[in-house]
Chains A and B, each alone.
Chain A
Amino acid sequence: MTPESENFEQLKKLLALKRHEVPPPGYFNNFSRNVIGRIRAGETAASTASVSWLQRLQQLLAPRPAFAGAFGLAVCALLVGGMLYSSRMDEQPGTSNFSNNSFATLPTTATASAVFPGNSGTLAPGVTPFNGTSTDPLFDPSIQPTPTSFRPFGN
């Protein structure tokens, strides 16, 4: 026997000492009772806890892959069906209140008199009426900033 293996034999004997380390007397009498009690408590808590409908659905479908697949297919079919129905409704004239022709009646330009009919002749002197368009609604070259001079303090 080599010294090394002899030492390992000694070590093994020493490690065997750990087998004699035992929990307090009677410890294992209550161990399984505690485990089962905790399992029961966990089940009760889980059943009474309020879970969202999404979690319930997930719990329902998780152990049943076939149901989960069928559910997914059904949701996809509903979505595709809804899209097809919606596009078909758009194609039929007169079936919708929001057909493309409805927008043709709207004016392409807006004037002050169109928006404020009562104020058509009350523009300030020097201000020319401006017909803004949707692509250039604000820029009016006739409107210039008023020059302002500031006096220094003390003058």
Chain B
Amino acid sequence: MATLMADQTPDKTGAIESLPAEKVRPASNTPPDEIGLVQKARQGDLAAYDELVRRYQERIYATVYHMTSNHEDANDLAQEAFIKAYSALKSFKGGSSFYTWLYRIAVNKTINFLKQRKNKSHMSLNDLDFNAEHDPDMVALVSENTPRRAAGLSELQEKLNEAMQKLSDDHRMVVTLHDVQGLSHDEIAAIMGCNIGTVRSRLFYARQQLQAYLSDYLK
């Protein structure tokens, strides 16, 4: 697996590189008010950290959920990622945006969890929201039914998640971040600690794999 940890994050042994609070450098793509929130949170202001949690809770949860295909695991891991980030805030230098740094922690935590879980996975999928039935792309996919894919959206959802679980953790992460969450190659490279070429090749391979697994639903 590529090294996920950059200089700001805890390493695999749990050691955290510390840096005095005054050394934080704001990343160019960090919103101005976020710098203030991060500074306050570093000084122990939980109200400021609560605001940061609210900003990123949905994205972090979604990333972990799409990696695990399990709501309970995603709930635990997302919470633990925020707690870990709070305890490691002193090591946050500001070289990247706070959310990239936070993503790294969540991604690393999730991949470590998946390595331990191995084959004991079981899916606990969230319900599709109301908009899914009215999404033109979904309508098109379901309406073009063949006898073998006469299923509705829920079966399509299950098959898709099964196919995703067959991918390696790294490939699933790239697909999740790019095709599901809409992050750019640059952002994914920064989060996963690899270069853009690696991100592109992983994405291509993962799509090929998914295409093979879901061939019945993509004709």
Contacts and interface: CB of A to CB of B under 8 A. Distances in A.
Interface of A: 7-8, 10-24, 27-28, 31-32, 34-36, 38-40, 42, 62-63
B129 interface: yes
Nearest to B80: A38
Q: Taking chain B's interface residues, is the majority helix, strand, or loop, or is none over half, making it mixed?
A: helix
Nearest to B210: A11
A22 B130 CA distance: 10
Contact of B135 (A10, A20, A38, A42): A20
B128 A20 contact: yes
B196 interface: no
A35 B128 CA distance: 25
Contact of A40 (B46, B79, B90, B126): B46
Nearest to A8: B207
A14 B156 contact: yes
24 contacts: A7-B211, A13-B137, A13-B140, A14-B218, A15-B160, A15-B179, A15-B180, A16-B135, A18-B160, A22-B129, A23-B71, A24-B126, A28-B57, A28-B61, A31-B79, A32-B54, A32-B57, A35-B53, A35-B82, A35-B83, A36-B50, A38-B79, A42-B83, A62-B18
Nearest to A63: B18
Contacts of A35: 50, 53, 57, 79, 82-83
B218 A7 contact: yes
Contact of B207 (A11, A24, A42): A11
B156 A31 contact: no
A31 B210 contact: no
A4 B48 CA distance: 48
B214 A11 contact: yes
Contacts of B211: 7-8, 11
Interface string B152-179: 0100110011001000000000010001
Interface residues of B, number: 49
A38 B90 contact: no
B210 A36 contact: no
A17 B135 CA distance: 9
Contacts of A24: 71, 126-127
A96 B217 CA distance: 95
Instruction: Output the residue of A11, A16, A18 with the most chain B CB within 10 A.
Output: A18
Interface string B168-198: 0000000100011000000000000000000
Interface in B42-59: 46, 49-50, 53-54, 57-58
Interface string B60-98: 010001100001001100110011001100100000000
A36 B46 contact: yes
Given A8-B211, A17-B153, A35-B57, 17 more contacts: A7-B218, A11-B218, A13-B141, A14-B217, A14-B218, A15-B160, A16-B135, A17-B141, A18-B157, A21-B65, A21-B66, A28-B58, A31-B53, A32-B53, A35-B79, A36-B53, A39-B46
Contacts of A12: 179
Contacts of A22: 126-129
B35 interface: no
B132 interface: yes
The 8 closest A-B CB pairs, nearest first, are: A20-B132, A32-B53, A13-B137, A15-B179, A21-B126, A35-B82, A20-B128, A10-B218
